[in-house]
């Protein structure tokens, strides 16, 4: 459902879809932290000197505090992806509010950035989720392009081509730095696709970074041009 409504959502609610009037690309990763996979993404991002937003699941962050601190220490932004990866409509409003508060508190590190972003699991954003996010000082944000990288059919090339079909300058990309909620081993495809995307974006001299920088740059004239990252 979230995928089928995405084209309409991008038009009617561009900010919710992570679309800004700039040339900036917001790079986001969901479902971590995962000590078996997340460090590989951190190493890749460091090599490209790029920062991203990591939407973390609270129970995994609680189990891996050192990794959470490493993500933040390397300049990346932390966002709330719920305490568990349970679908929002299956939670009571009271429990949802409590779990978002618990996760935000856990991710608010001493001396770190304020945690302000919320992305619900599966991109399913209900009225109750909007109320719970607002009660916790969180701003919901989804995405404008994703690579279906969790799928068993995903390959690095398919991920890149799928993103390239909808990504425009000013868009937000959704990927996953773990396969906890995906096809086993799918993170390797995402890692390879991330390498290609970062190289292409930098070749096009596009600014790439976390959501916190996404609306801070100077606006540019609207463009329908693709970022052109699809392999030849």
* Cα three-residue angle 78-173-161, rounded to 5 degrees: 150
Longest dimension (CA), the chain: 50
* Cα atoms in the 13 Å half-sphere on the side-chain side of 155: 4
Q: What is the DSSP string of 47-89?
A: HHT---EEEE-HHHHHH-HHHHHHHHHTTPEEEE--SS---GG
Q: How far apart are CA 173 and CA 143, in angstroms?
A: 6
Q: Catalytic residues, which ones?
A: 30, 176
């Amino acid at each position: 459902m979230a995928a089928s409504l995405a084209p309409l959502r991008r038009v009617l609610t561009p900010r919710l879809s992570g679309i800004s009037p700039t040339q900036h690309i917001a790079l986001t990763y969901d479902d971590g932290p995962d000590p078996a996979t997340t460090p590989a993404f951190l190493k890749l991002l460091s090599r490209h000197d790029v920062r991203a937003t990591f939407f973390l699941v609270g129970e995994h962050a609680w189990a891996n505090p050192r990794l959470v601190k490493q993500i933040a220490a390397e300049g990346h932004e932390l966002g709330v992806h719920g305490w568990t990866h349970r679908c929002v409509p299956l939670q009571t409003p009271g429990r949802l509010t409590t779990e978002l508060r618990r996760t935000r508190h856990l991710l608010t590190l001493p001396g770190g950035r304020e945690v302000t972003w919320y992305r619900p699991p599966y991109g399913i954003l209900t009225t109750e989720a909007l109320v719970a996010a607002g009660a916790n000082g969180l701003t919901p944000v989804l995405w404008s392009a994703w690579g279906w990288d969790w799928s068993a059919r995903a390959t690095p090339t398919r991920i890149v081509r799928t993103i390239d079909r909808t990504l425009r300058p000013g868009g937000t990309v959704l990927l996953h730095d773990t396969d906890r909620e995906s096809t086993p081993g799918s993170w390797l495809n995402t890692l390879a696709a991330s390498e290609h995307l970062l190289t292409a974006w930098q070749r096009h001299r596009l600014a790439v970074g976390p959501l916190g920088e996404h609306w801070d740059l100077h606006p540019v004239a609207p463009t329908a041009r693709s970022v052109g990252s699809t392999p030849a």
